[in-house]
Structure 1
Amino acid sequence: MQPEIFEYQFTVPKSAIDEMHHVNNVVYLQWVQDIAKKHWESKTSEKIRETYVWVVLNHLIKYHHAAFENDVLTIQTWIDHHRGVKSERHTKIINSTTNKLIVSAKTSWCLLLKETLRPARITDEISTLFG
């Protein structure tokens, strides 16, 4: 079964550009986290978001090409698999004009109960939402 891909398109703002005149590596990391949050919020109810929170265990980011101010980028994310309290999310950032892959990332996340900040098993309800 193919994972459902969540997608978002945006234009690179001036604030993302570093002294080398391209998007700073730290900005890509922020975008990886931002798209994960957008995906989570698009699929879950307020009740679920009040009960659970995600924390990052690790990121693996590969930088393939540079992006520049005013480039139009498409960012895609999907859940590859999950087990117990952990989930693996993949993200791609693609230049929408050239179709070049800019960044690929794999992030391991851990689900926590928001009230106690203790790990929580990923429920069938949550799993089904991201099927």
Structure 2
Amino acid sequence: MKLRIPDADVLWESLPDTRRHERFLTVGPEDLDDLNHVNNTVYLTWCETVARDHASRLGMGTQALTELGAVPVARQHVIEYHRPARLGDRVRVRTALTLHAGVRSVRAYALDRLNPGDPPEGVRLAECQTEWVWVDPHSGRPKRAPGVVGQTFGFEPPAPRPPA
């Protein structure tokens, strides 16, 4: 069975800034495998890094989430590889939070090469989707993310303030 990865490109423009993040990097020698292209595990590392950068940018890094009493842990990754990345390639890694409900959150990722001569939108290297499950950081048991998490990432409106 082939799992469908949401099209991060379609989602990208329609999502608020709080639901999306991107980072640019250059492929280094440490990213390569014996075939002289980026190792498949490196793509996953890049996806996790852009997700962490996104959370940190919004003040929702691991420490803040631990203090709030719920942290995300990966339940499932689905990656579809399209083309290899090679030494010196400039890569854009985008993530878009596509779902946040109950104890689950889902992120879509798009990894594109942006070398001179490539089309302006880049050349698609890979797409990924990760399902995250929120858990209590002490017990490891599933737990709903606090409302402030959904609010911070743009899924829920802020709670109304009581009248003064």
Whether 2:123 is the aligned partner of 1:100: answer yes
Q: What runs of 5+ residues in structure 2 fail to find an aligned partner? A: 1-10, 155-164
Specify whether residues 30 and 105 from structure 1 end up closer, same or farther in structure 2 by C-alpha distance, changes over 3 A only: same
1:32 aligned counterpart, secondary structure: helix
1:24-39 correspondence runs (5 A): 24-39=39-54
Specify whether residues 14 and 84 from structure 1 end up closer, same or farther in structure 2 by C-alpha distance, changes over 3 A only: same
Whether 2:141 is the aligned partner of 1:118: answer yes
CA distance in 1, matches of 2:80, 2:74: 17
Paired residues, number: 131
The sequence identity of aligned pairs, in percent, is: 27
2:102 to 53, 76, 84: 84
What per-residue deviation string (whole Å, max 9, x for no partner) do you get for residues 4-48 of structure 1? 320111111110111111001111111112211121222135533
Computed over aligned residues only, the root mean square deviation of the Cα atoms, in angstroms, reads: 1.7
Q: Which residue of 1 aligns with 2:34?
A: 19
CA distance in 2, matches of 1:92, 1:44: 23
- Whether contact under 8 Å (2:20, 2:96) holds in the other structure is yes
Q: Cα distance, 1:103 vs. partner?
A: 0.8
Q: Match for 2:91: what amino acid?
A: L
Q: What is the TM-score with the length of structure 2 in the denominator?
A: 0.73
Whether 2:20 is the aligned partner of 1:5: answer yes
Higher relative strand content: 1
CA distance in 2, matches of 1:31, 1:123: 27
1:44 to 59, 83, 88: 59
Pick which of 40-49 and 101-110 moved more. 40-49
Q: Match for 1:19: what amino acid?
A: D
Q: Which residue of 2 aligns with 1:128?
A: 151
1:19 aligned counterpart, secondary structure: coil
Larger radius of gyration: 2
Pick which of 74-83 and 36-45 moved more. 36-45
Q: Which residue of 1 aligns with 2:8?
A: none
